[in-house]
Each structure stands twice: as C-alpha cells, then as structure tokens.
C-alpha cells in the first residue's frame, strides 16, 4: 500500500513534466508497493538525466526505481537487407 500523499506527489510530478520540455516523453510514473516506478523511452542520455533529476527532486524521500531506455537515434551504419 502506498502512502496517501504518494499519489498526490506523482500527480504533481506529471503536471510538472507536462509543463516542461520533458512533457513530450513517453514516460509512465506509477506507485508500486512502498515505492515508485518510472518507465519509458527517452531520445537522449541528456533527457534521461534531466528526467531523473526532476523525479528525484519531486519524489525526495521515496524509493524510486528507474526503467528508462535511451532510444538509439544514430543513423544506421549499414543498409537494411530485406529478403
């Protein structure tokens, strides 16, 4: 069971992320057990760092588990072969 204010803190965090540059990211924030899980994909390592910093600020004192993937945006180094 999560603390009553955990849901409030998550909602506030989601509003903050939506209002900032990070609002377009496909990130989910959910209360699970005694902590919070942040999952999704971000385009760059810089976005991941900014996301982690923002979440840590807003959810200070809570246990947060991150499952954030940085999408590869580099051009392919070889052509794709279709058979």
Q: Is the residue at 65 inside a domain?
A: yes
For the chain, which residues score pLDDT lower than 70? 1-4, 22-25, 73-76
What pLDDT is stored for residue 12 in this prediction?
Answer: 92
Contact 51, 42 (CB under 8 A): yes
**Helix 4-19 × helix 45-58 angle, to 10°:** 140
CATH number of the CATH domain containing 65? 3.30.1340.30
Q: Is the residue at 77 inside a domain?
A: no
Count of structural domains, the chain: 1
Q: Is the residue at 81 inside a domain?
A: no
Print the domain residue range for 30. Answer: 4-70
What pLDDT is stored for residue 25 in this prediction?
Answer: 66
What pLDDT is stored for residue 9 in this prediction?
Answer: 93
């Amino acid at each position: 069971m999560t603390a009553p204010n955990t849901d409030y803190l998550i909602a506030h965090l989601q509003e903050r992320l939506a209002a900032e540059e990070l609002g377009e990211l496909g990130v989910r924030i959910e209360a699970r057990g005694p902590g919070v899980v942040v999952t999704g994909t971000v385009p760059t390592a810089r976005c991941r760092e900014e996301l982690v910093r923002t979440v840590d600020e807003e959810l200070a004192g809570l246990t947060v588990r991150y499952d954030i993937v940085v999408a590869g945006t580099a051009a392919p180094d070889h052509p794709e072969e279709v058979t």
